[in-house]
Amino acid sequence: MTANEAQELSTNAMLNLRREIASLAMLAEDDAPVVSGYFDLREAKDLLRSNFAMWATAARNTLAKNMRPAFEQARVEIEQALREVRPEEVRSLAVFARCGDHRFLRILPFAAAMESHFEVASAPAIFPLVQLKDRFHRFVLAICGEETGRIIEMTLGAVSAEILATRPEVNGRGGRQWSREHFHQRRQEDTRRFVRDQVDIITNLMAKRGLNHVILAGHPRNIAQLRDALPKHVQARVVGSVFHAPNGSDYTPLLGEALDLFVRAEQEESKSTVERLHEHVRRNGLAVVGIHPCRRAIEIGAASELVIAEELPVSDREELVRLATTHDLAIEVCEGDELLLSHGGVGCLLRYRMEFATQGMDRSLEVG
């Protein structure tokens, strides 16, 4: 696969995820229930099937009798999807099934891991997908070596593009023609050119692909050289460093460390968004908190971003992320924020004050 093909695959992965979330959010409700199954394929298949079967038996008994046949058919569809053999790089699977008059089946494999979770409702459970998009976006990993540099784009937890930069070879003519000083000077020039090549690749990749985060890996000396050569706006996007080089050509362990580092950086950004929400609440600014005010803000178009806690009850968080998705809002998922939880576990940053929208609606009614 060429770099361009890999980058196109990366774009498609994110666009497809956004489209799938939007499609699931807008799925018209029906008399038949939708069964949503998320499977962590790192677990044994027998265990996954057993856990799903136990959940399905209990969930079936909570449904009205006229809904149970459609539920059983959807259950069979999901079990069939789970039996299919998939590539090793697929680490999780999301399956949505509805039977009856308006049959619906969607199977989504992912390289990123997701926890197993099962749900039956009138609409698909999309919160885990929203969470996946929020946590495992795209970033650049630059592995800085002495002779080679690998610039890697990570998308949804997997490598989506890789570009190799190589230090120029010194055309040594040694002996009398090259003094030690001359050789050292040439070596320094080659190092500067090698670093510039890596900087060009990183900046071009970020500009063309819309990437906002960079992680550097390798020996501290090599990381420092590359970081110092980056433009200021790119330096500001460096969210962390992994201070050791890959073991030979195997850089797989670095990918896991970089991914963990990126997730921590995303969590810090999430905290920053929540703090901004709290600041607006404290000074009666452009924010509302609580389920009902947030629902209202989204419905009238006043909301600019939904900030939602993982701990919010499932039915409430599904309703709000579905509503935010249909209104094409940014969604920030946070975890363990006590202040947000004290406000009902959800808040919205606003484009304008709610009363302005209400006044505008009232004037429209008066004119009408």
Quote the CA–CA distance of 131 and 333 in Å, as a whole number. 6
From residue 228, give the alpha-carbon distance in Å to each of 65, 151, 237, 238, 243: 67, 17, 13, 11, 16
- Name, in order, each residue with C-beta under 8 angstroms of 42's C-beta and a sequence gap of 6 or more: 91, 113
**Can you give the pLDDT at residue 138?**
78
pLDDT of residue 103: 95
Q: CATH number of the domain at 284-367, please?
A: 3.30.1330.30
Q: Supply φ then ψ for residue 153, to 5 degrees.
A: -100, 130
Report the SS3 class of residue 217. Answer: strand
Please tell me the predicted confidence (pLDDT) of residue 3: 41
- Helices 180-209 and 220-229, packing angle to 10 deg: 60
Beta bridge partners of 218: 144
Phi/psi class of residue 290: alpha, beta or left (left: φ > 0; alpha: ψ in -120 to 50)? left
The edge-to-edge listing of strands for the beta sheet with 138-144 is 158-166, 148-155, 138-144, 214-218, 238-242
Q: What pLDDT, on the 0 to 100 scale, is given for residue 348? A: 96
Domain range annotation of the chain: 3-134, 136-266, 284-367
- Burial class from Cβ neighbours inside 10 Å (0-12, 13-18, 19+) for residue 121 reads middle
The verdict on domain 3-134 having CATH code 3.30.960.10 is yes
Contact 234, 203 (CB under 8 A): yes
pLDDT at 10: 45
Q: What is the CATH number of domain 136-266?
A: 3.30.420.60
The low-confidence residues of the chain, meaning pLDDT below 70, are 1-15, 136-137, 170-179, 183, 248, 356-368
pTM: 0.77
